[in-house]
Structure 1
């Protein structure tokens, strides 16, 4: 595939991806109810899979057609580096567990990852109609209006967040989450612990919150938010301050003014 510029992605691909993600959002919204669906784990899992399949039926073909030669990652909970080339990293129901429990924090996301670098993303919230977009080198937008991260410089005044990436994490990961929440409660102002990651990261990109971290490499929950935060002026690394890639074992996105302080809090938690 020939190389493309940010302007090519912005002008030609972004409108197509936005239309596809918004159409998929209609499907997910039609499946939504304000009451919980599923009274046991098997029933909940069945509802989650049904949501995924319904939305992917709408989303997969338009995205692959919009970017000839691109490939598709099938497992939305997978992590680690991708093979070279262009890949669609999609979460058909980001926050699926919220959707099936009648809560409102869920979205449809699609991100084009080129040689392990997110270069274009669309995050659509069907209940509010909000659409967050970013193209590498072109900024981050909410319904066409520029996004900017927080200007805070004091971690003691910061609203931060974290959460688990997938059910059934190992005990060490759960203990790291707990230890990190305690440490950030001591050093910050307020910590929000919730899922999904992308919905916390759009708040960082919009300057509503100041940092988000996660002890995870799950690509589908991080690549969209990583690009949005970076393009909104934020700093995206691992929890030790090293450059983040999909191969990184953990993740931190923060306003530049508090990033160093956040790494000082999180780096010792192993």
Structure 2
């Protein structure tokens, strides 16, 4: 399998760049969209075209590979993760941003083999930000190697998170409680509107930690290995091992910061993927 990773990576990267053109055509936003589960959970025809481009292109070269795609799951496909090579795809992470023309949306694609992340690509075509990682080879932004910060204390940390695409009252109350905690204890708080880009910012060292409840496997599959290969840690927000299907994530520059943040967060446990 390791001998094939370079080929898998190059195939996915070429398709991601092609699919990125579908996003960059809409610099001013994409005003035509559909509502999925609630009024802030959106999908556009671009989401569907990007996902189809990636799945069809990879399947043509690697017909035995499996897929978990956001829009495929939304259309009724089951979210099943096996030990087989499985590509987990968010065609437009940050659809709300994309609809409004806020230039923080991206293609996020990760490959898991034996349920372990081995390839991650996060591409924001609007700003020409290409984050990549392969297992054991480091993490990169536009070909330049990147590393997490060395921040170990919450009081010195810039934290990223998201409001998400659900209006669930319990989840919202937990989010507001955590916002209050962070603006009281941390250096600052940022919401970019994309889980994959938030995690990439941690890998870059621009943010020191990121957490979110209610995200999905496709939001974080690529970010997981990008953060790890940049020297960071990815865990469950309560401090346990990371589970990609749990819809919960905390990543940080250092174990010390991850531990302190996990002990400070109010917790929310959504239904699993």
In the alignment, is residue 155 of structure 1 matched against residue 150 of structure 2? no
| Aligned residue number for residue 224 of structure 1 | 222
Tell me what 1:34 maps to.
28
- SS of equivalent to 1:222: helix
Deviation at 1:81, TM superposition (A): 6.2
Contact 1:80–1:217 (Cα < 8 Å) also in 2: no
Where does residue 107 of structure 1 map in the other structure? 106
Q: Given the superposition, is the C-alpha separation of residues 38 and 96 from structure 1 closer, same or farther in structure 2, using an over 3 Å criterion?
A: same
**1:60 Cα offset (Å):** 1.8
Query: What is the Cα deviation at residue 247 of structure 1?
Result: 2.9
Residues 38 and 47, structure 1, Cα contact 8 Å, conserved in 2: no
Q: Return closer, same or farther for 1:75/1:126 CA change in 2, 3 Å cut-off.
A: closer
Q: Secondary structure at the match of 1:118?
A: strand
Distance in structure 2 (CA, Å) of the matches to 1:24 and 1:194: 22
TM superposition shift of 1:36: 6.2
Partners of 1:130 and 1:142 within 8 A in 2: yes
**Structure-2 residue corresponding to 1:21:** 16
Query: Structure 1's 65 and 35: CA in aligned 2 closer, same or farther, altered over 3 A?
Result: closer
For structure 2, the 5+ residue unaligned runs are 269-273
Q: Judging changes above 3 Å, is the alpha-carbon distance between structure 1 residues 39 and 19 closer, same or farther for their aligned structure 2 residues? A: closer
1:11-160 equivalences in 2 (<5 Å)? 11-30=6-25, 32-34=26-28, 37=31, 48-76=43-71, 82-160=81-159
Moved more, 14-23 or 32-41: 32-41
Q: 2:168 aligns with which of 152, 167, 170?
A: 170
Instruction: Give the length in aligned residue pairs.
Output: 261
Which structure 1 residue ranges, 4+ long, deviate > 6 Å from structure 2? 44-47, 77-81
1:164/1:84 Cα in 2 relative to 1: closer, same or farther (>3 Å)? farther
SS at match of 1:243: coil
Name the CA shift for 1:81/1:248 in 2 (closer, same or farther; >3 Å): farther
- After TM superposition, the score normalised by the length of structure 1 is 0.87
TM-score if structure 2 supplies the norm length?
Answer: 0.86
Change (3 A) 1:112 1:22: same
Aligned to 2:4: 8
Are the equivalent residues in 2 in contact too, given 1:82–1:115 (CA < 8 A)? no
Residue 257 of structure 2 corresponds to 258
| Contact 1:215-1:251 at 8 Å conserved across structures | yes
Distance 1:201 1:46 in 2: 20
Q: Which residue of 1 aligns with 2:271?
A: none
